[in-house]
Chains A and B, each alone.
Chain A
Amino acid sequence: NAGVTQTPKFQVLKTGQSMTLQCAQDMNHNSMYWYRQDPGMGLRLIYYSASEGTTDKGEVPNGYNVSRLNKREFSLRLESAAPSQTSVYFCASSALQGVKAYEQYFGPGTRLTVT
């Protein structure tokens, strides 16, 4: 099992450009999450999808959109990148039920720089 995979690993964008960060999990998890990590700020939730077909805003959703393409895949789109979106982005997934309910499994991250 690959767990949670993210592409790309690194990306440099110019202000105003758009891009989509891809995330996939092979653990049959219902829930998926997107976070950003900035120095001294911990992890902040951007969007999450509790189950296939649903998405909800987290703490910092402005400037982002998401798509839960199917149970495995959850993408994050920046429509018009801004320097304030320079960050490390993590995708995670978790089960909704059972002994491992809500235990999040994280991908390796995407390091995004917006110039």
Chain B
Amino acid sequence: AQSVTQLGSHVSVSEGALVLLRCNYSSSVPPYLFWYVQYPNQGLQLLLKYTSAATLVKGINGFEAEFKKSETSFHLTKPSAHMSDAAEYFCAVYDKIIFGKGTRLHILP
């Protein structure tokens, strides 16, 4: 069965540091992979989508994610964290519709 695992329920980085949020999917390659962001008391917003057209996907707010089939991973990165990036981030697959449990990103001043 398809599954999504996000490593780390909480991640803290200093402002200006690299952000790395990890996502692994189960062995069968899903047709679509997504990252969503949720700010407090709001619904989710799409950050980026992988559709097999390119392994490196650029999203909004300076985020990008790289699809690595050999590692069954789709990690989210941002070169320089900003205070406004503090939120919860969800990885998702669209084969069966499955979301990861989320990673809360904390930005340290």
Contacts and interface: CB of A to CB of B under 8 A. Distances in A.
- Please say whether chains A and B are actual partners in one complex: yes
Nearest to B48: A103
Interface residues on B, range: 20 to 34
A43 B9 contact: no
Interface of A: 4, 33, 35, 40-45, 48, 58-59, 90, 92, 101-109
A90 B101 contact: no
B42 interface: yes
* Interface of chain B: mostly helix, strand, loop or mixed: strand
Interface of B: 9, 32, 34, 36, 41-46, 49, 90, 92, 94, 97-102
A43 B42 contact: no
A4 to B, nearest CB: 7
Contacts of B101: 40-42
B48 to A, nearest CB: 10
